[in-house]
């Protein structure tokens, strides 16, 4: 297949906020996502990193269809996923699935695991009970659970096991794109390692494409092929994982990496690093260095993503 | 030879009902904190690190109860103190900050008043003076516009600011020991870095010792001089921070370090599979009883 699996073009999401004016006049809009564009290739793990409120989850929700974008297009295999020609939720479910952060909140406590996993199959026209059982069994095995655990209910499982169930449910319709929203941040250290290993194994086995949302940069570095750094609704830097972690160009990316407490040594060098990354076009500055929060109620100042090394792009002020 | 500020000796606690220990939670934990030292306790959920801190604060609730050992604070056994004496000590000589500041602050009082209360309660200051001291305390934790912010209610502040208010309250009476239980877990990374720096700077300035509890080895490493690793109610390894990370001796510590993806390791060594602690510790119960390393004494401590 040529071309990307998923293509997001100029995505904008704005939320109305009750304004000060009477009768809805002067209604303010919160600019959550401002012109985000990216592509996701087959078998790739692309991560979006950033802090609370930067719009990474809103972007993810738009892709799974839980948030209608204000503007912009999302295309899957060159078919639109939003707008007037959008597919139905059922059709979309076969293409894109999501694994949530809190596996306990995302499983129905009144349904056994078998029922939870069988529901999507039934909805998609699998009627034979034996086929359903077979597929549930195979899926439970692939995520490291045993088929006899299917009879149990969510509260009978530990956090790590529940996340395995969440992954099984996302994969049972055999989607090509899986959105992982902070898949391990609610888990204990030892469990986290198991789930990360499992996600990487499954990616290889089913050649899945992951779009991972995370604020944990060490997990992102471990799992990703490419990384997008978001700051107040915009991508400020984009590149391969090595570009981002070894030669971060944007001051915000540097601050983010420097803020990670690392075992073994103190991490002040990165924050103090002010020398420009080699290859940056001279004479053009950064619009914001990420130290002062911009106003979220106005559209951001004009700027553009500039590719200065192959695949490595950074947001700079517009060329005069 | 420096005398330890806090000497936890063979602390045991468990679920106690009708004087019978139904379930042992801490199985003999010993460590010392020197004056002005930052000591970290690291471990997974359920390893017993938080109950250790609650026992020191005298805040264990039923059915938990200390079943053995001693908690010597400046040579005095905290377990022998009456409730009243303990209350006088708590917040004054030993202070604590928690993971979620919103639940630890009173939503109905301004933060200025809550900090001022510390001075009125423990130092007998008048209302006016206490208010002024509270504003100073807010300034010392680097809250911008402290005089205006003092009039805010907790819900009007961001998570990072609330944690600063907690720190201001905890350090109000210049305690000898600050217990910080996962104080930055709920915060964004850049805010976490600021709050950690603040705790580190303020405690170094005032000579306050810190007992820092976290599941995050990186956070512990950035703030503590010595670390104890807890597992299933036991201290399995203790060492100076740098040495512990460079040369972990205990199987569990090695597992814990290998289970974390570490920033920079992929570019150096490529992507390695993360260690699955469960598989190296085939029999968890055996590990806890017999095979742990005898904790090393702090430098200068009595052997």
The minimum CA-CA distance between B56 and chain A, rounded to whole Å, is 25
A259 vs B189, B274, B276: nearest CB: B189
Q: Which residue of A has its CA nearest to B264?
A: A245
Tell how strand B234-240 and strand B226-231 pair up: antiparallel
Kindly indicate whether the ipTM for this predicted assembly is greater than 0.95, answering yes or no. Answer: no
Instruction: Specify whether domain A6-316 bears CATH 3.40.50.300.
Output: yes
Nearest CB to A264 within list B192, B196, B245: B245
Question: What pLDDT, in 10s, does the model give residues A24-61?
Answer: 556 788 889 999 999 999 999 999 999 888 899 999 99
Domain ranges of chain A: 6-316
Judged by CB atoms closer than 8 Å, whether chains meet at A218 and B260 is answered as yes
Residue B73 near residue B6 (C-beta atoms within 8 A): yes
Q: Which residues of B touch A261 (CB under 8 A)?
A: 192-193, 196, 216, 218-219, 221-222
Q: How far apart are CA A54 and CA A49, in angstroms?
A: 9
Quick check: A228 and B268 in contact, CB under 8 A? no
- CATH number of this structure's domain B1-83+225-303: 3.40.50.300
Which residues of A have a CB under 8 Å from any CB of B?
51-52, 188-190, 192-194, 196-197, 215, 217-219, 221-223, 241-242, 245-246, 255-264, 266-267
Contact B139, B146 (CB under 8 A): yes
CA distance linking residue A161 with residue A251, whole number of Å: 39
Residue A273, class by beta-carbon neighbours within 10 Å (0-12 exposed, 13-18 middle, 19+ buried)? Answer: middle
Per-residue pLDDT of chain B (303 residues; tens, 9 = 90+): 578 999 999 999 999 888 788 888 898 999 999 999 999 999 888 889 999 999 999 988 888 999 999 999 999 999 999 999 999 999 899 999 988 877 889 999 999 999 999 999 999 999 999 999 999 999 999 999 999 999 999 999 988 899 999 999 999 999 999 999 999 887 888 889 899 999 999 999 999 999 999 988 889 988 999 999 998 889 999 999 989 988 888 888 888 888 888 887 888 888 888 888 776 655 555 554 444 444 433 433 333
Q: Do A218 and B245 touch (CB under 8 A)?
A: no
Of B188, B221, B273, the CB nearest to A263: B221
Chain A residues in contact with B188 (beta carbon < 8 A) = 51-52, 215
B277 chain-A contacts, CB cut-off 8 A? 189-190, 193
Instruction: Average the pLDDT over each of A130-134, A145-149, A223-227, A259-263 and give the range with the smallest value.
Output: A259-263
Would you kindly state where each structural domain of chain B is located, as residue ranges?
A: 1-83+225-303
The 3-state secondary structure of chain A reads CCCCCEEEEEEEEEEEECCCCHHHCCCEEEEEEEEEEEEECCCCEEEEECCCCCCHHHHHHHHHCCCCCCEEEEEECCEECCCCCCCCHHHHHHHEEEECCCCCCCCCCCCCHHHHHHHHHHHCCCCCHHHHHHHHHHHHHHCCCCHHHHHCCHHHCCHHHHHHHHHHHHHCCCCCEEEEECCCCCCCHHHHHHHHHHHHHHHHHCCCEEEEEECCHHHHHHHCCEEEEEECCEEEEEEEHHHHHHCCCCHHHHHHHHCCCCCCCCCHHHHHCCCCCCCCCCCCCCCCCCCCCCCCCCCCCCCEEEEEECCEEEEECCCC
**Is B267 within 8 Å of A219 when comparing Cβ atoms?**
no
Of B44, B218, B271, the CB nearest to A188: B44
Q: What is the mean pLDDT of chain A?
A: 87
B196: which chain A residues are within 8 Å (Cβ-Cβ)? 261
């Amino acid at each position: 297949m040529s071309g990307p699996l998923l293509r997001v073009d100029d995505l904008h999401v704005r939320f109305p906020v009750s304004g000060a004016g009477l009768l809805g006049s002067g209604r303010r809009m919160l600019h959550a996502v401002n012109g985000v564009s990216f592509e996701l290739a087959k078998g790739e793990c692309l991560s979006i990193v950033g802090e609370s409120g930067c719009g990474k989850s809103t972007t993810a929700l738009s892709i799974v269809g839980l948030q209608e974008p204000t503007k912009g297009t999302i295309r899957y295999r060159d078919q639109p996923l939003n707008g007037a020609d959008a597919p139905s939720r059922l059709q979309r479910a076969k293409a894109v699935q999501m694994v949530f952060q809190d596996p306990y909140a995302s499983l129905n406590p009144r349904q056994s695991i078998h029922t939870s996993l069988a529901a999507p199959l039934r909805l998609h026209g699998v009627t034979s009970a034996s086929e359903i059982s077979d597929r549930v069994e195979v899926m439970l095995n692939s995520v490291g659970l045993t088929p006899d655990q299917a009879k149990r209910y969510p509260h009978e499982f530990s956090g790590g096991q529940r996340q395995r169930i969440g992954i099984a449910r996302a994969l049972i319709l055999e989607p090509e794109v899986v959105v992982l929203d902070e898949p391990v941040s609610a888990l204990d250290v030892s469990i986290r390692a198991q789930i990360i290993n499992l996600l990487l194994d499954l990616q290889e086995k089913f050649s899945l494409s992951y779009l991972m949302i995370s604020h944990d940069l060490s997990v992102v570095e471990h799992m990703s092929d490419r990384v997008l750094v978001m700051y107040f609704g915009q991508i400020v830097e984009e590149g391969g994982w090595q570009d981002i972690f070894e030669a971060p160009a944007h001051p915000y990316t540097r601050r983010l990496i420097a803020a990670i407490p690392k075992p073994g040594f103190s991490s002040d060098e990165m924050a103090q690093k002010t020398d420009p990354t080699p290859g940056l076009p001279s004479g053009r500055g950064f619009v914001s260095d990420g130290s002062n929060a911009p106003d979220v109620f106005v559209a951001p100042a004009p700027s553009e993503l500039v590719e200065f090394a192959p695949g490595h792009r950074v947001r700079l002020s517009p060329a005069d | 030879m420096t005398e330890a500020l806090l000497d936890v000796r063979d602390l045991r606690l468990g679920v106690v009902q009708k004087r019978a220990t139904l379930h042992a939670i801490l199985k003999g934990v010993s460590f010392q904190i020197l004056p002005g030292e930052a000591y970290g306790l690291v471990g997974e959920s359920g390893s017993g690190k938080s109950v250790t801190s609650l026992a020191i604060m005298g805040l264990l609730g039923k059915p938990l109860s200390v079943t053995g050992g001693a908690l010597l604070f400046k040579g005095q056994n905290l377990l022998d103190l009456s409730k009243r004496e303990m209350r006088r000590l708590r917040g004054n000589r030993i202070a604590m900050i928690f993971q979620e500041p919103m639940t630890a602050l009173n939503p109905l009082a301004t933060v200025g008043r809550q900090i001022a209360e510390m001075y009125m309660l423990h130092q007998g200051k008048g209302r006016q003076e206490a208010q002024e001291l509270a504003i100073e305390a807010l300034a010392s934790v680097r809250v911008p516009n402290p005089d205006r912010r003092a009039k805010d209610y907790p819900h009007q502040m961001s998570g990072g600011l609330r944690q600063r208010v907690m720190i201001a309250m905890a350090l109000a009476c210049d305690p000898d020991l600050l217990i910080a239980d996962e104080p930055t877990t709920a915060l964004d990374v850049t805010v976490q870095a600021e709050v950690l720096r603040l705790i580190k700077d303020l405690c170094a300035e005032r000579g306050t010792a810190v007992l820092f509890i976290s599941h995050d080895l990186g956070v512990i490493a950035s703030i503590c001089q010595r670390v104890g690793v807890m597992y299933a109610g036991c201290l399995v390894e203790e060492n100076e921070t740098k040495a512990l990370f460079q040369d972990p001796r205990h199987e569990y510590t090695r597992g814990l370090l290998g289970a974390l993806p570490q920033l920079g390791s992929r570019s150096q060594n490529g992507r390695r599979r993360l260690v699955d602690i469960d598989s190296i510790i085939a029999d968890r119960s055996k590990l806890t009883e017999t095979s742990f390393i005898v904790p090393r004494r702090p430098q200068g401590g009595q052997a």
